[in-house]
């Protein structure tokens, strides 16, 4: 019985290959979310704040290290913008948001959209390779 268990144990670990095209698509997901969140701020900016945490957790420790790198950079841009909006809207006068929402939205769009497009173009130009990784069943 012991020998049967040990021989099956080797089957638990396997090597898988992640295609370059999938890794490239995964690297762009956070940037696409940033663009949509800024283009349609209500309600997507708020929803993306929650969904981005899931996307970040999923892709930051991706088998392809470049996917994690690009996800981290996209998160920096989005969370910096979100973090900037908190004190601006907290300490602004009561009618600031209602009078200047379009200006606030335009500034956010002018910051996030060009940066995201530039980064997506960089990802498209980058050489992507297949990634081998180990999986283990628990």
**24 has a pLDDT exceeding 60:** yes
Which residues neighbour 15 within 8 Å (Cβ) at sequence distance 6 or greater?
A: 132, 133, 134, 135
98: confidence class by pLDDT, cuts 50, 70, 90: confident
Domain ranges of the chain: 16-136
pLDDT digits (tens, 9 = 90+) for 28-79: 999 999 999 999 988 999 999 999 999 999 999 999 999 999 999 999 999 9
Position 138 scores a pLDDT of 66
Ordered DSSP codes for 58-125: HHTT-SSHHHHHHHHHHHHHHHHHHHHHHHHHHHS-TTHHHHHHHHHHHHHHHHHHHHHHHHHHHHHH
How does the average pLDDT of the chain come out, rounded? Answer: 91
């Amino acid at each position: 019985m012991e020998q049967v268990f040990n021989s099956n144990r080797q089957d638990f670990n396997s090597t898988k290959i992640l295609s370059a095209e999938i890794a490239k698509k995964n690297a762009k997901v956070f940037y696409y979310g940033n663009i949509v969140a800024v283009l349609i701020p209500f309600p997507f900016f708020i929803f993306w704040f929650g969904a981005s945490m899931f996307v970040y957790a999923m892709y930051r420790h991706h088998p392809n290290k470049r996917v994690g790198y690009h996800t981290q950079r996209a998160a920096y841009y989005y969370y910096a913008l979100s973090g900037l909006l908190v004190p601006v809207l907290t300490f602004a006068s009561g009618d600031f948001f209602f009078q200047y929402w379009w200006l606030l939205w335009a500034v956010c769009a002018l910051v996030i959209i060009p940066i995201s497009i530039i980064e997506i173009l960089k990802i498209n130009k980058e050489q992507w390779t297949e990634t081998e990784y180990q999986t283990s069943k628990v």
